[in-house]
Chains A and B, each alone.
Chain A
Amino acid sequence: MVLECTDRELVEGCRRGEREAFRVLFETYKDKIYSIALRFSGDQALAMDIAQDTFLKLYSSIADFRGDSQFSTWVYRLVVNSCLDHKRRSWRMIPIADELLAVMRAPGDALNAVIRTETSERVQRAVEKLPEEQRIVVVLRYTEGLAYEQIAEVIGCSMGTVASRLNRAHRALERRLANLKGAAHV
């Protein structure tokens, strides 16, 4: 039984083939991995596939983890690679009529919830339109709250490159979401 393990102990447990170590590793990282996959792809089914692939890669290559970096950084690297490996869906069905009807029918708090959902979807869609190298930086920064230095380590570039990609992403997002400014009090 593996309880309150550090990442190092978990990795050792997985290397020995202990099922409980795999399970604890899964419980520890499932939300992080799925969140990155979902925010990057904007699609729940695709995010599930990406998360599943990431865990399979993680379990099959855990013996290769040398400990040069933090284990979490290594996991982030795996999920980023899985995200970039998956082709983005070429189209998404946007149920505009449904959304419009929902807004018209929703009173009070429900209306605020609809507006909030709508804003979330617009932000998500704006992020999806970013080039992949900018998008992954935005997701690691805002979904996982990683520092520039950690992002640089995960994607294997300099901190200057991270700052530059974030800056370009911010400008693009500011342009695309300008119509939400002042309109959405969410």
Chain B
Amino acid sequence: MSDWLEEQLSQHLNPVKAPEELGVRLGFARAKRHQVPRMMVAIAAAIVMMAGGLAANREARNGEAVQFAAADQGTIPVRLGHQASVGAEKSANLTSDVGCGACHTL
């Protein structure tokens, strides 16, 4: 056998390290959990908070717009006080998006 072949076989058939999965399969190692970097969690949390804030802001503006439009057209009476006696009989078509939805509107 040539030295060249000896060298090639020694070089390319060298021992390798067993993958960690072998230990996991045999119960000697725990499977690695996919770790999310803390920075990513913080960024995701900030995005969610900003999105929530924006949504709340938009909702408030929409509410104001509806209220002003309705008041201008006179379609919805503006009642500022509680009317407990009529609250229960109110039908669904009298409730508006603003106010407590049961007994009064703003």
Contact with A along B3-36 (1 / 0, CB 8 A): 0110011111111111101110110100000000
Interface residue? B1 (CB, 8 A): yes
Closest to B17 in A: A31
A/B pair count, beta carbons within 8 Å: 74
| Interface segment out of the listed A70-78, A104-112, A173-181 | A173-181
Whether B8 and A33, one on each chain, are in contact in the complex, defined by CB atoms closer than 8 angstroms, is: no
Q: Is the pair B13, A26 in contact by a Cβ cutoff of 8 Å?
A: no
Chain A: interface secondary structure?
A: helix
Residues in chain A near residue B28, CB distance under 8 A:
22-23, 26-27
CB contacts (< 8 Å) of A141 on chain B: these are 9
Report the minimum CB–CB distance from A138 to chain B (whole Å): 7
The complex places the Cα of A26 from the Cα of B22 at a distance, in Å, of: 10
Whether B13 pairs with A177 at a CB distance below 8 angstroms is no
Q: How large is the interface on A (under 10, 10 to 19, 20 to 34, 35 or more residues)?
A: 35 or more
- A47-98 residues at the B interface, CB under 8 angstroms: 48, 51-52, 55-56
With A and B bound together, what is the CA distance between A154 and B66 in angstroms? 88
Instruction: Give the complex CA separation of A186 and B12 in angstroms.
Output: 10
Of the candidates A34, A56, A120, A142, the one whose C-beta lies within 8 Å of that of B19 is: A34
Interface centre among B4, B15, B17, by most chain A C-beta atoms within 10 angstroms, is: B15
Bound form: Cα–Cα A143–B22 in Å = 19
**Docked-complex contact A124 and B12, CB < 8 angstroms:** yes
B5 touching A142 by the CB < 8 A rule?
A: no
Question: Can you name the residue of chain B whose Cβ is closest to the Cβ of A51?
Answer: B22
* Distance of A94 from chain B, by nearest CB (Å): 17
In the bound assembly, the distance between CA atoms of A44 and B18 in angstroms comes to 10
Report the minimum CB–CB distance from A140 to chain B (whole Å): 10
Query: Which residue of A is nearest B7, CB measured?
Result: A186
User: Is A165 close to B, CB under 8 A?
Assistant: no
Give the residue name and chain of the A residue nearest to B11 (CB).
Answer: A186
Let me know if A144 and B18 touch, CB within 8 A: no
CB distance from A20 to the nearest CB of B (A): 10
> Which residues does chain A contribute within 8 Å of B73, judged by CB atoms?
none
Q: How far is the CA of A56 from the CA of B26 in the complex (A)?
A: 8
A residues in contact with B25, CB < 8 Å: 48, 52
5 sample A-B contacts, Cβ–Cβ < 8 Å, listed by A number = A30-B23, A34-B16, A139-B13, A170-B5, A177-B8
- Give 6 closest A-B pairs by Cβ, nearest first: A34-B18, A123-B12, A35-B15, A170-B1, A30-B18, A142-B13
A→B interface (CB under 8 Å)? 22-23, 26-27, 30-35, 38-39, 44, 48, 51-52, 55-56, 119-120, 123-124, 127, 138-139, 141-144, 167, 170-171, 173-174, 177, 180-181, 186
Known: A34-B17, A143-B13. 5 other contacts (CB 8 A): A23-B28, A35-B18, A44-B19, A127-B13, A142-B10
